[in-house]
Chain A
Amino acid sequence: MTPPLNPYFRFDTMVVGAANRLAVTAARAVAETPGTVYNPLFVYARPGLGKTHLLMAMGHGAAAIDPSLDVEYLTLDHFIESFHAAIASGQGEAYRKGFLDVGLLLVDDVQFLTGQRETQAELLRIIDAMQTAGRQIVLTSDRPPAEIEALDERLIRRFAGGLVIDIAAPDYETKVAILRRKAEERRATLEPGVLEAVARLPIDNVRELVGALNRLVAHQAAGESVEPEQVPALLGVKARSSANAGGDHSQREPAGAKASEAGADADIETSSSAAAAESADASPRPSPPADEFGDFLSEISATLSQQIESWRGKVAAAILRWGGEGYRTGRLELLLEGELSRDPEEALREFEADVRKLDTLRTEVEKIAPALAGSPLFRDPGDVAAAEALLEQAREGADPPPAPSPLWRLDALVESAANRVAVQAAQAVIAHPGQKYNPLVLVGGSGVGKTHLLHAVGNALIAGGLRTVACVGAEEFTGELIEAIDRDAIAQWRKRYRRVEAFLLDDVHLVAEKGRSQDELFLLFNRFLESGRQMVFTSAVPLPQLSGVEPRLLTRLEGGLVAELPIPDREIRQRVAERLLSEKLERPDPEVAAYLAGRPADSVRAVHGLVQRVLSAAEAQNAKLSAAFARSVLETSPVRPARRAAQSRGSGLVAPGIGGARSREKMVWDWPDIGDRLIEEWR
């Protein structure tokens, strides 16, 4: 696996001085336009001068500019390891090809290529392939390419073909700047002149410089004030070069120089007295370092700081990762801001567990209520309980069934002698839901206003105080049922409907021959009837003529009030026409409405069609709409529309311009209402 980029190693956290300015400038150029300027870029420097920092900064910089860019950071060790693994599993070719998808390849510590002939050959192939494909490669090493022992000449030439650049040891000013930044990061305030004194010491390695600072900070934290002149002594610069009496024997010989006076048979015992130890110091042996504890403290501080930085890095990486996947990471950000106020490992484990839990919850919600799956609650590991509650709601059927369309209002419905029974029954239902007529079944032909009345009842019930009213077409009802069966979420689907306070079903005749829909409807029907909740149905087919519907359902429908919505009589037609005309015209001619009402129309929709036609024709011809005009439109051959003014508005469809075929004769500008057309054709 590729190690992630350390989030701290960015361009803006790098102190730029004379020693690294050139390298940083080149690196920025490469990060801004990978694959175009210096390819490959080879950066070398002694350890601790910021190679890895620069490399990762390029990764961050390039990714910030182009988030889609695939950035890969590898140490050579990683490279070798994964190369060997790929070879072992017979995936060598795939491994090589994998690099062609990488936009910016960052390889650290290539000095270890020494003697790795196979790896060198593979790296050469990858560099060639990536260069050809315009991909950027950046390499770092602790020495220039020519000084890497036994490095393939071809690789040296490839490196030289790009840009080989070095980072020198920081100068005094840069060292001071680095120390100031690090002190700020550690929130340490040192006496004036202390950092400058550290910078004057012969320490060129930035890591060691930071180690020295850590040590001073540790001294200061213990309540010892640190003065500039004490710095060399406190840091033990001289002591560091003196010999130690002991140490890791893998690096040095055992300290068995001094012969003991005790006999071979005597148990030579180390004394438990501190005084003895002190007196022994007088003997001619290498004296121990001046400040062993100080050294120890300094090293421990450095190790611990590293560990704590590594925690911060882990948390920061997790924030980037989860944030990138769309999860809210406030909890982790708080952890960083709060200076790790709790165990970061545990916090990360818990965070990931919560993310997994959210995923599980979301998957379940997707099954039972897909509309809820997009809720931001499933992206907030900070509040899993809310997501759980939402799922619970979904289980209970909270995803509400379709509601009545607010466009249909009761006051927009024209009442006349013909439809009075139905309208009054609807009003009774609205006034006393579930008590007066339950169910109310509205029967009538197409376009007579059943759906309008149904939705209007639904809206009035909501206005009357019911919170949930389901108003759904029979086809949609069946469609939902099929989907619920498919998702194995039938129980949730039932709950959705069972919890509403009124159930309005349009076109109940369409459940004919649909056994399962009828079963569900039957169960629902009984529940609603028992609990006194209102049901309203519409049917385009008179109930006695309805075939394919089970008698148990049919008899129940007939058990309520069946109200007929007849073909609109002249009175309705006239009032509909009057209303529509007055909506479009400022002072409609009353004779037009009277004329239109006299035209044969078997539905309100047909009246709409007639009004639409005469309005369109008048608009097209820029004529005043009179009864005579309406007659000429409706009773003579269809009028060819006049040239259409650019700004004219019409409710008819406009065919989109197709290439050069813009012949006005062939273009249909205004389409009559489709219902109207069908009626005319039928005639």
Chain B
Amino acid sequence: MRAFAPSSGGDAMSLVNFAAREITCKIVYYGPGRSGKTTNLQYIFGRVPESRRGRMVSLATHTDRTLFFDFLPLDLGSISGFATKFQLYTVPGQSYYASTRKLVLQGADGVVFVADSQARRLDDNLESLQDLQTNLLTQNIDIRQLPVVFQYNKQDLPGDLILSPPELDDALNFRAVQSFTADALHGGGVFETLKGISEQVLRRLAAGEPAT
């Protein structure tokens, strides 16, 4: 079992526990502050039947910013004989919560990078992406080896405020990983993104790569 809260310095758990016949995927939503990571989780929470979800834990400040992290456990039931669980986390986007982000990233099986599509947030996106790469490196994880997808959120805003997906791909997605457009507030693209990252994570199982 993965610990509820990520422990510092602990070994990354393996994705599949064969002895317990359990698959646990940890997916971390990363991105700059106010890009909509928590909104993604809330939308998912709203769509999952009660029997399948755990309590969503959100530690927020009085101004409703994510202070520590959000955590949403999903129980997908038994698939091919394996009790399959997803754990969705968000990191606090604000730059001063760097140590929390590191902690949450530990043992992640996949990362959704939620970018704010607004043109004026481009630098924040870049900074956060850099931060993700650095934090992964401190855990000896090469970002190229970890399943990552991009979500260009707030694509519902007027066209003159936002960058188009190709522009965002050019600016952020230089490794050409899968990217999704989204309007997380209304749920557009939220499940597509989750499916995208989940499939990548699960496909790595039989590819024989060690799940970190």
Stretch at the interface among B2-10, B134-142, B196-204: B196-204
Q: A249-B165, A254-B165, A314-B206 are in contact. Are A300 and B84 (CB under 8 A)?
A: yes
Whether the pair A274, B45 counts as a contact (CB closer than 8 A) is yes
Which label, helix, strand, loop or mixed, suits the secondary structure of the B interface? mixed
Whether the pair A293, B47 counts as a contact (CB closer than 8 A) is yes
Is the CB of A303 closer than 8 A to any CB of chain B? yes
Q: Which residue of B lies closest to A288 (CB)?
A: B187
Q: Which residues of A contact B19 (CB under 8 A)?
A: 341-342
Chain B residues with CB under 8 Å of chain A are 14, 16, 18-19, 21, 23, 34, 36, 38-39, 42-49, 51-52, 58, 60, 64, 66, 75-82, 84, 118, 152-162, 164-165, 178-196, 198-199, 202-203, 205-206, 208
CB distance from B73 to the nearest CB of A (A): 14
Inter-chain CA distance A296–B80, complex, in Å, is 16
Is the CB of A269 closer than 8 A to any CB of chain B? yes
Whether the pair A277, B39 counts as a contact (CB closer than 8 A) is yes
CB distance from A647 to the nearest CB of B (A): 71
Find residues 259-286 in chain A having any chain B CB closer than 8 Å to their own CB: 259-260, 264, 267-274, 276-278, 280-281, 283, 285
CB distance from A495 to the nearest CB of B (A): 44
Whether the pair A300, B195 counts as a contact (CB closer than 8 A) is yes
Is the CB of A88 closer than 8 A to any CB of chain B? no
Is the CB of A307 closer than 8 A to any CB of chain B? yes
Q: Which residues of B contact A283 (CB under 8 A)?
A: 186
CB distance from B60 to the nearest CB of A (A): 7
> Contact check: which of A218, A247, A297 meets B192 at CB < 8 Å?
A247
Number of interface residues of A (CB under 8 A): 62
Q: A259-B158, A272-B60, A339-B81 are in contact. Are A246 and B183 (CB under 8 A)?
A: yes
Whether the pair A296, B191 counts as a contact (CB closer than 8 A) is yes
Is the CB of A661 closer than 8 A to any CB of chain B? no
Whether the pair A256, B42 counts as a contact (CB closer than 8 A) is no
Across chains A and B, which 10 residue pairs bring their CB atoms closest together, nearest first? Answer: A246-B189, A245-B188, A246-B188, A222-B77, A221-B77, A221-B78, A270-B36, A310-B206, A270-B39, A249-B165
Whether the pair A248, B18 counts as a contact (CB closer than 8 A) is no
Q: Which residues of A contact B36 (CB under 8 A)?
A: 270
> Contact check: which of B21, B156, B162, B189 meets A258 at CB < 8 Å?
B156
Q: Which residues of A contact B182 (CB under 8 A)?
A: 246, 255
Is the CB of A352 closer than 8 A to any CB of chain B? no
Q: Which residues of B contact A407 (CB under 8 A)?
A: none
Q: A277-B46, A314-B206, A341-B18 are in contact. Are A308 and B165 (CB under 8 A)?
A: no
Q: A245-B187, A255-B183 are in contact. Are A264 and B161 (CB under 8 A)?
A: yes
A-B contact list, 5 entries, CB within 8 Å? A254-B152, A268-B118, A270-B34, A277-B185, A297-B77
Q: Which residues of A contact B82 (CB under 8 A)?
A: 304, 308
Whether the pair A268, B208 counts as a contact (CB closer than 8 A) is no
Is the CB of A186 closer than 8 A to any CB of chain B? yes
Q: Which residues of A contact B39 (CB under 8 A)?
A: 270-272, 277
Q: Which residue of A lies closest to B64 (CB)?
A: A272
Whether the pair B198, A303 counts as a contact (CB closer than 8 A) is yes
